[in-house]
Amino acid sequence: MENKSHAMAAGLFVVVVACLLAGLAMWLTRDRNQYVQYEMSTKDAISGLQPQATVRYKGVSVGKVTRIGFDAQNSGNVLIRIAVDSDAPISPETTFAQLGYQGVTGIAHIQLDDSDSKQAALPEGPSGLARLPMRSSPLTVLADQSLLIMGRVDEATRRVNELLNGDNQRRFSAALEDIAGAAKGVNTLTQSLNRTVTEHVAPAMAQLPELTGDARRSMQAMVKVGEETGHLAQDMRALTERMQKPGGALDQLEHGSQSLAFAADRLGRSTLPTVSQAAGDVSRAARSMGQAASGITNNPQSLIFGDGQMRPGPGEPGFAPPAASR
């Protein structure tokens, strides 16, 4: 009996200790946070997602997956129920869910994020819980597009094979030869251009500083001429103003012209007739003097014997010798 009592006491002690450890574990692992439950329905596969998987909002753990099943309202869709901390800024109008994968392990979790614009709230399910939209993950999109991508890769490969057939290879060879010839021509042209630059352009460029200096001096001379022209224009303007002002040169010239016209009128009326008469008298006197000089020239004896008729002398016409005296 004593052995049995010791065994019973030891068993009771073990049971009590186990209960205490279980209670301590429950007390240490208790969760005092308040959670809000949401549902999500998706037609995509959710491989790697398990109950108790982490729910993250912008990378921060805010809850866990509580249930995974099928959606009775949408045949073929998977229904996921999550519990999210009430302090997390979750709103059915802006928040959406995606599957996220941690590293290369393939373990999935629910990733919550906010869209840039408001979205239409989904109707509640039979459970009465609010539903969040579930978007396809990048891996799901890649898997859906893989067949299309493979088809396009196959088509591209087929076209590359057609492009590299025998005829096209010969064309490529001919094209490469033409490109080589063109490159050779470009090389020749480059050498010719180098010679042209070295022989012609470089000397011309060497003369540019001198030409620039000449051009600068020419411009300075033109500026100086322009300044002198401006001064001359100012002087001409001042001279014109002095000539046009009252009592100036134009007025004096006008008064002089009037005086000259008056003098010319007086000359024409009084002086010119007198001069004309005097000229007539001088002309008559000159004619008389000419006649007198002509008479003297023809008959110089008239100065001694007067203006009588002279007998012709010997050898002159009408000469007659005198008669002999008796």
Cβ within 8 Å of residue 106, ≥6 positions away: 47, 48
The DSSP bridge partners found for residue 39 are 81, 131
The answer to whether residue 51 sits within a structural domain is: yes
Is the pLDDT reported for residue 141 higher than 60? yes
The answer to whether residue 151 sits within a structural domain is: no
Q: Is 174 helix (H, G, I), strand (E, B) or coil?
A: helix
Count of the separate structural domains present in the chain: 1
Better-scored residue on pLDDT, 2 or 98? 98
The answer to whether residue 47 sits within a structural domain is: yes
Distances (CA, A) of 39 to 62, 82, 149: 15, 6, 33
State which residues form the domain around 43. 31-136
The DSSP bridge partners found for residue 56 are 61, 111
pLDDT value for 211: 67
Least confident of 138-142, 204-208, 211-215, 275-279: 204-208
Q: Give residue-wise pLDDT tens across range 114-132.
A: 888 888 778 887 888 888 8
Q: Give residue-wise pLDDT tens across range 30-39.
A: 656 788 889 9
Threshold 0.75, pTM exceeds? no
Banded pLDDT at 292 (limits 50, 70, 90): low
Is the pLDDT reported for residue 305 higher than 60? no
Q: Is 213 helix (H, G, I), strand (E, B) or coil?
A: helix
Q: Give residue-wise pLDDT tens across range 36-68.
A: 889 988 888 888 888 989 999 988 889 999 999
Please report, as a single letter, which amino acid is at residue 13: F
The average confidence (pLDDT) of the chain is 77
The answer to whether residue 124 sits within a structural domain is: yes
Q: Tell me the two tokens of residue 109.
A: 């979790």
The answer to whether residue 103 sits within a structural domain is: yes
CA distance 318 to 185: 125
For residues 296-320, give the mean pLDDT. 63
- The per-residue DSSP string of 224-284 comes to HHHHHHHHHHHHHHHHHHHHHSTTSHHHHHHHHHHHHHHHHHHIIIIIHHHHHHHHHHHHH
Q: Give residue-wise pLDDT tens across range 102-112.
A: 766 678 889 99
CA distance 14 to 214: 117
Q: Taking a C-beta distance cutoff of 8 angstroms, is the pair 36, 90 a contact?
A: yes
The answer to whether residue 100 sits within a structural domain is: yes
First-to-last alpha carbon distance for the chain, in angstroms, is 257
pLDDT value for 301: 60
